Every structure is written in C-alpha cells, then in structure tokens.
Amino acid sequence: MRSHEIDYKIIGEDIQIVEIELDPNETVVAEAGSMLFMEDGIQFETKMGDGSQPQQSLFGKLLQAGSRALMGESIFMTHFTNRSSIKRRVSFAAPYPGTIRPVDLAKTFGNTLIVQKDAFLCAALGTSISIHLNQKFGAGLFGGEGFILQKIQGDGMAFIHSGGVVIERQLNNETLRVDTGCVVAFEPNIDFSIERSGSLKSMVFGGEGIFLATLRGTGKVWIQSLPISKLIQRLSPYGGNASKESGSILGGLSNVFE
C-alpha cells in the first residue's frame, strides 16, 4: 500500500508540535494520546494496527497488537481522516520536551528506519510500524534502547521525536561512538553494537559510563542530546542534581535539616 502524501509544518523550539495538512480523504496514523488539536471535518477512529495492510486478517492484527504491547506501546493506534471537501489540519505533540524530526522513508535504505521504541509519533497512512528485535546481546542489555526496537517501513513521511536536540549524521563507511541511550534511529544497513568506553580508569572516573553505543557502516543515524531516562534521573530527588539548590546557603542548610 502506497503511503498518503501529506503536507506538514513543525512548530516550536524546545517543545515542538507537528501540524499536518490533509487533503480530502487523506489519513495520518498516530500514537494514542498524541493529538493536540484537529479542525472541523477531521474524523478519528481507534484501530488495532497501523492500517498499512487493509486485508490483514484478525490473527495478523492480534499479532501486531501483541508486538506493540511488547514495545510498551498501546495496542491501538488512532487514524485521523479528512472527511470534508477542503484541506483540514490536525496536529500532534511529543510527550516530553525535545525535537520532532520528519523523515521521508522513500529516501531511506530499504524504505526502512529502526527507531527506539518510544520515538514514533505519527506517519502517513500506508506506513508499517512493527517490532524489531535487537539480536546482539550486549547492545540489548547495555545500549539504553533494550532488545526491542521499532521498525518503520513505507514510502511516505514519518515523524519521530527525541529528547533535547536531535542530530542527523551521515556515515560513509565510518564508525561513530555515542553515549548509550542517545541513539534515536538508524538505517537498517548500519551495524549497532556496544563496546567498552576505554581503559578501567576511564570507565570508573571518566563520567561517560562503562559502555558506549557503536554505529558502523554507511547510512544515516539520528542522535538525541537528552534521553528521557537521563532527564528523569536529573530531576529525581536522588539524581545528579539532588545536592544543587541554586547554590544558596539556605539550600545547603535545608539539606542538613532534611
């Protein structure tokens, strides 16, 4: 099934939204609960599956729903369709501060993108969202993304979100080492593995952790500056900022009394 051709606009800086313009009878598929607003004439329907295979059997839909449950996502996806006779808009917001990046799947290797399991936001109808198992034990255990990733396939526009700023890098038979958890997406021809960060001294005192994610090959990769796991850790009362109370004397005294 060919993907619908949709127009879009990214709005905002620190916390972005994507506004999608739909022609009559065009549809965009999104994660449940991501819709921000929709204009009159847009109708939405919750379905089990992404709708990329209209003739899919009930067993196939249940299998797809089960794979989404393994990814920690809702087993349902919401389909937004323009049922009016003129162009209408619907917008979607990321669940945490960061960047929304549009990706034209027709320009990716094999029309496929591998993304971390919570990175997918929305895509044109016809896009397939399925499970991708990380077959390398070390990468799954220490890579920050886990063993279960998402595979996005199609020939239309898809939108992924990440924490902080997202960087797109083109590798040409090169190697790139990245802080674990900062890999948002990569093309399927990129080899993703985990390696030690260096010597024992570097691993213990370097502050970069024991392992680094290693990307090798030729293709595109997307990297985020602030994974949600690090944000939660920093905001935690027992995280890295627990002892920082705006540098004030009263802040230090409050910690003593606590």
Tell me: the pLDDT tens digits for 99-135? 999 999 999 999 999 998 788 999 999 998 888 776 5
* Bridge partners for 142 per DSSP: none
So what's the pLDDT on residue 244? 45
Identify whether the C-beta of residue 76 lies closer than 8 Å to the C-beta of residue 48: yes
Average pLDDT over residues 154-175: 92
So what's the pLDDT on residue 61? 57
SS3 category, 133: strand
Instruction: Please give the backbone phi and psi of residue 253, each rounded to the nearest 5 degrees, phi first.
Output: -65, -35
Enumerate domains of the chain plus CATH numbers.
7-240 (3.60.160.10)
- pLDDT > 90: percent of the chain: 41
Tens digits of residue pLDDT in 79-97: 999 999 999 999 999 878 8
Identify whether the C-beta of residue 116 lies closer than 8 Å to the C-beta of residue 150: yes
Whether residue 147 has pLDDT greater than 60: no
So what's the pLDDT on residue 141? 47
Burial class of residue 188 (count of CB atoms within 10 Å of its CB; 0-12, 13-18, 19+): middle
Average pLDDT over residues 24-45: 93
Task: Select the more confidently predicted residue: 120 or 204.
Answer: 120
**CA 18 to each of CA 9, 24, 46: distance values in angstroms, whole numbers, following the listed order:** 6, 19, 20
Average pLDDT over residues 41-65: 71
The H or E element that residue 230 is part of is helix 228-235
SS3 category, 200: helix
Burial class of residue 169 (count of CB atoms within 10 Å of its CB; 0-12, 13-18, 19+): middle
Whether residue 40 has pLDDT greater than 70: yes
